[in-house]
Structure 1
Amino acid sequence: MADWSWNLDAASSEPLRSYEDVLVKRIFHPWACHLLGVLRPEPGSRAIDVATGPGTVARMLAASVGPRGSVLGTDISPGMLDLARAKPPVDGAAIEYAECGADSLRAPDAAYDVVVCQHGLQFFPDRRAALSELHRVAADGARLAISLWAGLESNPMFRALHDAVSAELGEQQAQDFRQPWSLPADEVVQLLHEVGFVDVRRTPAALPVHVPEGAEGLSCVYRLSAIAEELEQLHPTAHEALMQNLRTRLAPLLHDGTIHAVTSAEVVTATATSTRPA
């Protein structure tokens, strides 16, 4: 099974610009607001945002914890981190960014009061190792919040992207594409218990999103996905067939060229303890 590739090397790349202009602005920013609303970080907190991407959640954390707090954003993609670092400073805590995998965080033990991962866990090769690392860097009593997409059956906009791939490119490509919507929250809850978190809770949530860029804008997801390389090799006729299929499937969600859809996810929260599992 192919993996999604977020390892975009240059902040000037077209896929990265599309990610920022469409996906972050229309989808990930609203979900970041929801995630921090659930977590409610206190002023002065030390926070870490794992899989920070272009710094969306890290910047919100910086504003929330204020100048007495601190924020570290980590990501494995140098291109994403370049984009994050290029943004103007936030009125709040200083933000440090570090290039590292989630299973080998460049952070000391028990250093953070707030630990966040938005829509990133499903991409980690070793989720248990990554969650164990989150526990390692969390101080006693630290609060954790993780967001995970619900299944495609609860996300009609993403389902349209998937079903167009299935119809035009085949089931293997569709299986590779559906990775972000394939991690059950129950599995995450179990892993969190195993690595030492307590008070683990999962809460379903649904948020409306609006994508004025329409099907063409939303299709940037394809260029960031596990099937990106294959799409680059498609004959123009086949590519247009894929896009036409996508437009047809999105038609019920379109009004005046804007996609109006509900996106569904699970937010899993937990508390860290000083007791480390054997």
Structure 2
Amino acid sequence: MKDWHHFFDGKEIRMIDHSDPAILGTAMASFAVDDTLCESIGRTDDTAAIRFWVHDHTVVLGILDSRLPNIAEAVAFLEKEGFDVVVRNSGGLAVVLDGGVLNFSLILPDSSEMGIHSGYELMTAFVQEMYHDVTDQIEAFEVAGSYCPGDYDLSIGGKKFAGISQRRVKNGIAVQIYLCIEGNGQARADFVRQFYLHGQAIKDTRFDYPVVDPETMRSLADLTGAPLTVADAKERVLALIGKWYELDITEEELPVFEKRMKQMVERNEKAFK
């Protein structure tokens, strides 16, 4: 999919800016917000949303991560290093979030056009266009040795800087990306490598956890040599979207958010029992 624009044609675009880590606090709230927006957007055919979110000193785990042979020690290691630990409700494995990582979600109503790969292809094309003035070398393929590897890892020269996931809720689709814009991508990768060592991933015969090689990961600023920032990335997204209006969670949506947040809290409580 080279043309992502038609998915937004004829739609009003709602923007929600949660890029200040103090707004939501825990990353559990971000996943609850996206689910809430999926329900709202899924009841329409003429609305879409873009949401920015940043969480500092946070490691987001996948469900499989919570089943590591020594998950208690692995979580204790993360917490000792000052990181909040959250289990997500979408696919994937462990990722590091901090002030140099921008997450944003494109939230659309489901349609016959949105096949299993469409959301990933849409986001890939979107990011390639975001940075067309900086590089034409962004590719999508699984980067072996990276953390949270997947078919739609985004990389330059084989060095990963972003990963994409998607979640479908009540006729709405949230396509989510974490973009390592600035900071030390290798240090983030080494941190996840240590997490898997503490969790004794190598002893698990049920699942194949990634063997993380810090050399496989970088920030986009490092890869391009350009002075890129999270603030700049937000501006690029909004410039592509064009016409949009800002509206945070509404009073009508609040009960749905509270329900989804309760589910996230319960998911996390169960994950570490």
Same fold, TM-score > 0.5, yes or no: no
**TM-score, reference length from structure 2:** 0.28
The structure in which a higher percent of residues are helix is 1
TM-score (norm 1): 0.27
Larger radius of gyration: 1
